[in-house]
Each structure stands twice: as C-alpha cells, then as structure tokens.
Amino acid sequence: MSIRFVKFVSLCVCGILLHLEAAACTLVLLSGKATADGRPLLLKNRDSSEAPLVEMRMVKDEGFSYLAQFAVADSIYSGPWGGFNEKGFAIANSLSFNLKEGQGMGGNGEIIRKGLATCETVDDFEQLLQEMESPMDVMANYAVFDAYGAAAIFEVGMSGYVKYDANDPSVTRRGILIRSNYSLSGDKAHMVGEDRYKIASQYLQKRPDGTIVWEDLLLDLSRLLVNKDGIDLRDTPPESYDDETMVDFNGFIPRDISTNAMVIQGVKMGESPLLTSCWTMVGPPMMTVAVPVMLTEELPSKTVSEGEGAWLCQKGRTLRDVVFAYPETPRVIDLSKLYNQKKTGVMQKIISMENAVIAKGEQLIHELREQGELTSSTLHAFYEWLDLYLDESYVLAFGGDGGGDEGCVNPLVMNGDLNHDNEVDISDVAILVEIILTGMDVTAAADVNGDGVASIADVTAVVEMILGNKAQ
C-alpha cells in the first residue's frame, strides 16, 4: 500500500468526520427523579454548518397542537427539531452516525412531527416506531418524555430501534441520559461527538442526585467554556474587551456552528399538561437571551419571524460574528469579545440582561402552576414587557440598534447609565433612587444586578461602579 494512498484515505476520513460534526447536536434527558422539582427536562443544543435562520412555531391543524423550533425555510412536514404538545409529550433528536444499517436521515423531522401531532405518551411513540414501514429513512437518537412520568431515549436505525428507559435503574441509576451524535447500540469505532458526550457527563456527575434545574442545562451546559481536556476558559480571561486573545475553540459543547438551543420542562403527575414550558434560545446559545414560551397561539414576537429569522436569531448571529472574528479559521474565537475580566464580553452581557427575564419568567410560570391552568392574558402581559425590555436592553448592552449592525458592539455601554450620557455618575444614582421611591417602571439600565426589580442593591451596585471608575 503506497504512502500516497494512505494519505488519500486519511484525508477522506478527516473530511467525513468534519462533515458529520457539521450536522451535530447534543441531547440531555432527565427523568423527574434527577431534577430538583421532580419535573422532567429535555435539552437540545443544535449545531448546523448550514446556519439556518431559526424561529418558534405553534402548529394546531395536524392533530394535537404543538410548539416547536423550526428553520424558517422548513415546512411543518420536514422541519421540527424538537418541541412539545398539548398532552405534555416532548421530543427532540440528534443524528446518529454509527448505526451500521445505512445513512438514512431524510425521515428524522417527519418522526418528530408525527410524534408531536399524534403521541400523548412515551408508549404511544414506541407504537409509532413499531408501525412505521421498514426500512425507515432514519438514523437518530430520539429523546422523549410525557406527562405521566415516563422518559426514554430511542436509538432508531433503518430497520428498528433500541430503547433506553430513564426510569430503569439498570440503564441509569440517576435518571440521566445523554447523547451526542452516536448511539450506544452502534459501532463503537465511530463515536462522532464523543467529546461533547464526555463533557456533558462530567458536568452532570458533579451535580448531586435530585438537584438539577433547567438553568444547569440551558444556561450553563449549552454555554460551557470547558473543553474536552478540562480546560476552563473562564479561569484565565483576557483583561478587557480590547485585549485580543485568539483561542482554538475546538472540543467544546458550544461551537461556531451552534445555531439554537432549548430546554423543555415537563409537569408533575396530576398537573395540567398545558403547564409544560420551554426556555428557548432561537440563536447561537452564547450570544442569545433565553426566553420562556408556552403552548399558546401568541408567542414572544422576538422568537417568531416572517421569513427572515426571529429578531433574537438575527441579533445572535451578528454577535456570533463578533466573537468568531476570523473567517479564515472559523473555529478560532477572540476570547476577549466573549468573556473578559471587566465583564464586557458578549456572553457576559447576554447573561446580565437575561437575569431579569429569568426572574420574571420563573415568577410567571410559578403563578400559572399555582392557578393550575394556562391563562393567555397572563402570558400576553409578560410578552409585552419582554418585547420592550429586550429592545432597550440590547441597545443598552451593544449600542447601535442592539446588535443588528455589524461591529456595533460597544463595550463602554453598561447598566447603571440611566440618563444615557455614556457615564455612570452621581446623577444616575439620583435617577435610580427616584425610580425606587416612585414605583416607576423598571428599565434595563436601572436593574443593574439583573434580578428583575430596582432596589437598594442596585443603588449599591451603581455606587460601587462609580468608585471603581474613580480608582482606575
């Protein structure tokens, strides 16, 4: 065998692996016994080299009504990537590249659509698979849960499936199942995405039994800056936004081709399945604010679109290009633009403005659970606040029109600048005190600590910012 032939084969293998990694996803499924509140959780972190525009859609004319993430260009028949329906049944998938039966992929979205439109339980989904004609045009891992406590992953190939029950202690003692882009029942020599699987496993192993919350999955794991070798980029951040620091961003869960993420939270036994909720990022997870959605015809306007991608998706894509700043080396980032000591990185600003959304969103979902039913009027009021808050917050954090124009990120814009003069000083303290005393609506600039309210804690934070600026 010639050396030239060996090199040719090696290049082909590398090309195939890169192609497979370019259509990758990470799934985490938790049964109720693994979570802090007893409700199941399902995370999907989606990667795609095609960089599709993303939106949320509510579909109601196929059977059960359902809410799902879609690519703008996809129809309901080909495109749902994951979602949940009115019966509390949830589903998401990841492609699997080590099943030996062939390369079937065309039916993956079709199975998700059929599951959402027709299934109430995990058993219903298994029955759906059994009734499908063989060979199925499928090669994927499907994570599902229902409103009755069942949760499982089905590894589905052209001629059948293998089921992994999240409540079976012989399968998983803790009620946690993870998949990237290979199946445990497949060829162990072709485990695409093994690094992401190991990172997620190690992260969740550190969480005590029965303590995991949705924030751990969506806000932490999908943005985790720890790579396959255990190196945490947060341990040695650049000094400032302008301290250019090129970093090889291979071997992480979030990547240059990460396009969107979602975590679906189910219900406890006896709760209305309509109280199933979803926190969605319709853009790159490190650069997109997570917002809550529930199964109603009205959705947050920033998560839907009219053919151009959701508002949050467009903002996230622009901010991604600020961080992944080197087109000739797409998997290299400028870490200073993402995360730095002065907390002016893109992800740090996203997290800061996201805190108020989480606080108010959690309060909303808690109130709905207390009522025992889903009320559209309550959601409408929250969505109106959310639209205004995001408009203001993005402009405050990134300048310009809030991330819509290339290169608009402004590291000098910060919370606490209530009079918008590009300085934080005693005049801002006076305005903040007036807001607190008069009960005026809380603006993003006033909510300095991101807890959703304006209080003495925010005054303290502004004073500390002023003193810190004078000390520099």
| β-pair partners for 142 | 93, 154
Q: How far is it, in rounded angstroms, from Cα 273 to Cα 153?
A: 20
Beta bridge partners of 28: 43, 178
In order along its 472 residues, the chain shows pLDDT tens digits of: 444 433 333 334 344 444 444 557 999 999 999 999 999 999 999 998 887 899 999 999 789 999 999 988 887 777 788 999 999 999 999 999 998 665 556 678 889 999 999 999 999 999 999 998 887 888 999 999 999 999 999 999 988 999 999 999 999 999 999 999 999 999 888 888 999 999 999 999 999 999 999 999 999 999 999 999 999 999 999 999 999 999 999 999 999 999 999 999 999 999 999 999 999 999 999 999 999 999 999 999 999 987 788 999 999 999 999 999 999 998 999 999 999 999 999 999 999 999 999 999 999 999 999 999 998 889 999 999 999 999 999 998 988 665 544 444 554 445 677 776 657 788 878 878 877 877 665 566 677 776 667 788 888 878 877 776 544 4
The answer to whether the beta carbons of residues 312 and 390 sit under 8 Å apart is yes
Output DSSP code: residue 251.
S
For the beta sheet containing 140-145, the strands, ordered from the edge strand earlier in sequence to the opposite edge, are 54-59, 66-71, 82-85, 90-95, 140-145, 151-156, 161-165
Cβ neighbours, 10 Å, residue 365:
18
Based on its alpha-carbon atoms, the radius of gyration of the chain, rounded to whole angstroms, reads 23
Report d(CA 339, CA 149) in Å as an integer: 39
Q: Comparing C-alpha atoms, which of 352, 457, 356, 324 is closest to residue 415?
A: 352
Segment holding 279, helix H or strand E:
strand 277-281
Closest CA to 394 of 259, 260, 299, 302: 302
Could you give the CA distance from residue 315 to residue 428 in angstroms, rounded to a whole number?
28
Query: DSSP string of 11-46?
Result: HHHHHHHHHHHTT-EEEEEE-GGGBSSS--EEEEEE
- CA distance linking residue 25 with residue 401, whole number of Å: 31
Q: Which amino acid is at 287?
A: M
Output b/e per residue, 343-357; b: 16+ Cβ within 10 A.
Answer: bbbbbbbbbbbbbbb
Contact between residue 311 and residue 339 where contact means Cβ atoms under 8 Å apart = no
Per-residue tokens: 373: 């039913």
Q: What's the order of all strands across the beta sheet hosting 291-294?
A: 176-179, 25-30, 41-47, 258-265, 277-281, 291-294
- pLDDT for 28: 98
- Residue 278, phi then psi, degrees to nearest 5: -140, 135
Contact 335, 238 (CB under 8 A): yes
* Helix ranges restricted to H, 372-455: 376-398, 426-438
Token digits of residue 270 = 């006896």
The amino acid occupying position 468 is G
pTM (two decimals):
0.85
CA 411 to chain centre: 24
**Nearest 5°: phi and psi at 62?**
-120, -5
How many other C-beta atoms lie within 10 A of the C-beta of residue 431? 17
pLDDT at 441: 58
- Give the pair of three-digit tokens for residue 268: 């406890």
